[in-house]
Amino acid sequence: MRIIVHVDMDAFYAAIEERSNPALRGLPLVVGADPKGGRGRGVVMTANYQARRFGIRSALPVSRAWRLADAARRRGEPETIFVRSNFQLYETVSSRIMQIFERFSDAHEEASIDEAYLDISSLTSFDDAQIKMATLKNEIHEQEGLGCSIGIGPNKLIAKIASSRNKPDGLTVITQQEVQGFLDPLPIRVIPGIGPKSEAFLHQQNVRIVRELREIPQATLMQWFGSWGLRLFEKAQGVDDSPVSNEWTRKSVGEQETFEHDSRDLALVSEQLDRMAERVLAKLRRNEFSGFRTMTLTVRFSDFDTRNRSRTVKSGIAIDNTGNALQLIKKQALDLLLPFFDARENPRGKAIRLIGLRLEKLL
């Protein structure tokens, strides 16, 4: 029998900011772009639970978040505080938390900056697992002053869904016998991999909750979704054999960024691209890659027209510690960028709204 845990930190960036600045505690808090009195560009990275009551959440345009906060204030709610993000700090906290996870498990898998799967099968009982995970919650609270929500189940799929059911500060245990009853009434969207498109399609087929999905024959799901239909069939039954392991292969590292103002200024854009190259290289190192073959630059113009340019070096570009790698990455990124500033890729001289940099075919 396997006992698998999913841990997801509560309002992660916001909780770290609250901890760093006690004056923020108890107030609605938004981490993300500068709202600039409602004219700000960019998005909300996260909001604490007080701010979520106003409808503010991740990925919302910050201008919209600002209006929601303003409306709440007019209703007599406390003022919402907006703070910029400090990604480096969040990364540092994340790696300390991952070390705690490692101590508490037979194997662990970092799923994102604030979530991980733990395999604690050696405990052999769900009761012991629950006690141990309550201790883990306390430890994270004591060491880092942060809250998390934990799901315990017979596999990663159930653990993940369970951790999201009682947020914040949840501890939800679903044994193998409880899987069906737990999943059946939930909306199909809880199943990882069912995004807005699959959800809309399934709704058209009158499939709204997991029980309805579970009753669709495997052959029909495969007809609808191809080989993914087979996985979906298993997931609807609560089956997931995937191991908890950090050995998974990440396919790429990258990031993108929207400018404060759409820009035609090469100096400004290339400066941002340099900073981005530094962060992407750091991410590559952190994930213990030794290099990459392909770099892709994404440019989105003010009219949302979005273009990619890639360059592949077959023999690969190694990232040593001499600083040469950074220079090389910056140079390559600039080479990819330049045509967007002249007739080659931008004959009408459009302004740039967003750039992204991605390293692929990792070594």
Q: Which amino acid type is present at position 238?
A: G
> What are 155's two structure tokens?
């596999």
* Pairing state between β 81-83 and 4-9: unpaired
Residues 30, 50: Cα–Cα separation, whole Å:
10
Inter-helix orientation angle 218-225/227-236, to 10° = 140
> What are 118's two structure tokens?
């733990």
Exposure string of 11-38, with b = 16+ CB inside 10 Å and e = fewer, is bbbbbbbbeeeeebeeebbbbbbebeee
Residues 50, 24: Cα–Cα separation, whole Å:
11
Side-chain-side CA neighbours of 211 within 13 Å: the count stands at 6
Residues 9, 21: Cα–Cα separation, whole Å:
18
Q: Is 295 in the site for ligand TTP (CB under 6 A)?
A: no
Total residues interacting with Mg ion, rule: CB under 5 A: 4
Residues 91-130 that bind ligand TTP (CB under 6 A): 113-114
93 binding partner (options Mg ion, ligand TTP, none; Cβ < 5 to 8 Å by kind):
none
Q: Is 182 in the site for ligand TTP (CB under 6 A)?
A: no
Residues tagged active-site? 115
Q: Is 116 in the site for Mg ion (CB under 5 A)?
A: no
Q: Is 109 in the site for Mg ion (CB under 5 A)?
A: no
Choice between 47 and 188, CB closer to ligand TTP: 47
Choice between 58 and 86, CB closer to ligand TTP: 58
58 binding partner (options Mg ion, ligand TTP, none; Cβ < 5 to 8 Å by kind):
ligand TTP
- Out of 8, 17, 18, 109, the only residue in the binding site for ligand TTP (CB under 6 A) is 8
**Cβ proximity of 359 and 310 under 8 Å:** no
Per-residue mark of binding to Mg ion, 10-29 (x: CB under 5 A): --x-----------------
Q: Is 270 in the site for ligand TTP (CB under 6 A)?
A: no
Q: Is 56 in the site for ligand TTP (CB under 6 A)?
A: no
343 binding partner (options Mg ion, ligand TTP, none; Cβ < 5 to 8 Å by kind):
none
Choice between 167 and 211, CB closer to ligand TTP: 167
Q: Which residues bind Mg ion (CB under 5 A)?
A: 8-9, 12, 114
Q: Which residues bind ligand TTP (CB under 6 A)?
A: 8-13, 45-46, 58-59, 113-114, 167-168
